[in-house]
Amino acid sequence: MLALLLAAVVVCVFFLSQKPKGQAGDSGEFPPATGQTDFVSSEPSSSGGQESQKDPMEGMKAVWFSYLEWNTMFKGASEEQFQQKLGTVLDNLVSIGCNTVMMHVRAFGDAMYRSSVYPWSASVSGVLGKDPGYDPLSIIVEKAHAKGIAVHAWINPMRTMTAAEFDQIGDCALKQWYAGAQRYQYYMKDSSGHYILNPANPEVRKLISAGVTELVQNYDIDGVHIDDYFYPSGVDGLPENDAQYYQEAAPGTDIGSWRRDATTEMVREMHDAVKAVKPEIPFGASPQSSLTNDFDRLYIDIERWISEGLVDYLMPQIYFGFHNTSQPFDQTAAKWNELVGDKTALYVGLATYKVGLENDQHAGEGKTEWIDCFNGENNMLERQVEVLESLPNCKGYCLYSYQSIFNPDGSRNQTTEAEIDHLLEAEKKQ
């Protein structure tokens, strides 16, 4: 009898130890686009087995921490300096009741983490491509979770480097595509000189989704987040755009539809890359609040994303006051609430950076609203959050950005201090 029991235990242990078929990391699901670059890291997870902190789908209170904050606070820091400064950031987020941070981890085809796909960001070591000697994202996740803060890895999938920056990095798929004779198949170039990946190219989408796999596989992050950088502004007027590739790949079709199909497939593959590794964590996007701009200028089809279940949440950037002529805050938020229905979670991006702004240039009749509120009631954010709480499909908000609320030394930004305090007091009363 004892022998039978021991045999049963051995069989159970064997089967429990087997990885489910098809799980990321089994065997090269993402072959290199050029046959030379190993996209998916084989390193073990940096989480050390810690239980992942799940996204608070109800009641998200988030802050965007962009590459600009990295450059101001973390660039060139030693590991000890980084940990000290990160501690200040996290303490500040806790002080305003923040439970989520949208942490920029890839802004220009570079990585603020140890990657086998992208070169190190200069925002970490101070030099593009230079290993800082530590892994900042691993530290961020560990320290943030200890404070009860979820970490969404914020990436710009299409935007990459300038010509001068490409000259600084070593061999990788991005560099090979840039240096190749058929660069037009992979890149466009925006008005600032940054090369933008072309999502219509399947090899490009494979690299982008491989980068997502790497992040979710190696880090105990709580979500993956993209913002509104898709096709570059005025793409048809740019000297380096996707026109030649379009003529070769899809002649005779509508170029706008072709571009929207491309961004949809990119988003689909990113979503699927997340879910293949950790189906429980959300994949979300933060588009512009104007659906017309999204559709006609950025070439993204938000309604299709919702109907096909390609995003777990949307976080439109409703960076407007109540008297904005074209997009008054309350009406715009209500439209998004109706759009997502019960299919997609809705969070709303709020413009803390506009507090005290003397002239909101494109706001029409509302161009002085932010400065008027700053000189008066200091309750713009409080009123906006009240609107969001009245919308049945809205589950929280995100403030742009950290540096509009706190200074690099950790002190409060005096411009937004009264607004944030009023918002905190209102939330305490709920």
pLDDT digits (tens, 9 = 90+) for 31-64: 233 333 333 333 333 333 334 444 456 799 999 9
If you average pLDDT over residues 64-84, what whole number do you get? 98
Single-letter code of the amino acid located at 356: G
Residue 324 lies in a domain: yes
Please tell me the predicted confidence (pLDDT) of residue 44. Answer: 33
* Residue closest to 264 by CA, chosen among 157, 381, 392: 157
Would you state the pLDDT for residue 27?
Answer: 28
CB 210 within 8 A of CB 246: no
DSSP readout, 244-304? HHHHHHSTTS-HHHHHHHHHHHHHHHHHHHHHHH-TTS-EEE--BS-HHHHHHTS---HHH
What average pLDDT does the segment 382-406 reach? Answer: 97
Q: What is the mean pLDDT of residues 383-410?
A: 97
- The pLDDT value recorded for residue 57 is 65
Residue 210 belongs to domain spanning: 59-158+197-428
Query: Is the residue at 184 inside a domain?
Result: no
Establish if 179 belongs to a structural domain.
no
Rounded CA separation 41/216 (Å): 11
Region 292-303: mean pLDDT is 98
- How high is the pLDDT of residue 133? 98
Q: Coil, strand, or helix at residue 427?
A: helix
pLDDT recorded at residue 31: 28
The per-residue pLDDT for 429 is: 83
Over residues 281-289, mean pLDDT = 98
- Section 265-273 average pLDDT: 98
Domain membership flag for residue 87: yes
What gap in Å lies between CA 77 and CA 68, rounded to an integer? 15
The percentage of residues in the chain with a pLDDT greater than 90, rounded to a whole number, is 85
Residues 400, 55: Cα–Cα separation, whole Å: 19
Q: Which of 112, 106, 193 is nearest to 156 (CA)?
A: 106
Note whether residue 52 is domain-resident: no
Classify residue 298: in a domain, yes or no: yes
| CATH number for 205 | 3.20.20.80
Distance of CA 2 to the CA centre of its chain: 55
Measured CA distances, 50 to 2, 16, 46, 145 (Å): 36, 20, 9, 9
Query: Which pLDDT does position 9 carry in this prediction?
Result: 38
Q: Tell me if 12 is assigned to some domain.
A: no
Reply yes or no on whether the pLDDT at 246 is more than 70. yes
Give residue 4's pLDDT: 40
What is the total count of domains within the chain?
1
- pTM of the model as a whole: 0.87
In whole angstroms, what is the distance from residue 340 CA to residue 236 CA? Answer: 30
Does 95 score more than 80 pLDDT? yes
Average pLDDT of the segment spanning 245-259 = 96
Residue 15 has pLDDT above 90, yes or no: no
Please say whether the beta carbons of 128 and 110 come within 8 A.
Answer: yes
The mean pLDDT of 192-206, rounded to a whole number, is: 98
Q: Is residue 300 part of a domain?
A: yes
- Residue 268 confidence (pLDDT) above 80: yes
pLDDT value at 348 more than 90: yes
pLDDT of residue 30: 28
Lowest mean pLDDT, pick from 15-24, 50-59, 105-114, 124-133: 15-24
Higher-pLDDT residue of 23 and 295 is: 295
DSSP 3-state percent helix, strand, coil across the chain (nearest 5): 45, 10, 45
Question: What is the rounded (10 degree) CA torsion for 147, 142, 285, 237?
Answer: 120
pLDDT surpassing 60 at residue 347: yes
pLDDT at 153 over 80: yes
Residue-level pLDDT at 226: 98
Q: What is the pLDDT of residue 82?
A: 98
Contact yes or no for 424/97 (Cβ under 8 A):
yes
User: Token match 């019960």: residue?
Assistant: 342
**What pLDDT does residue 430 have?**
76
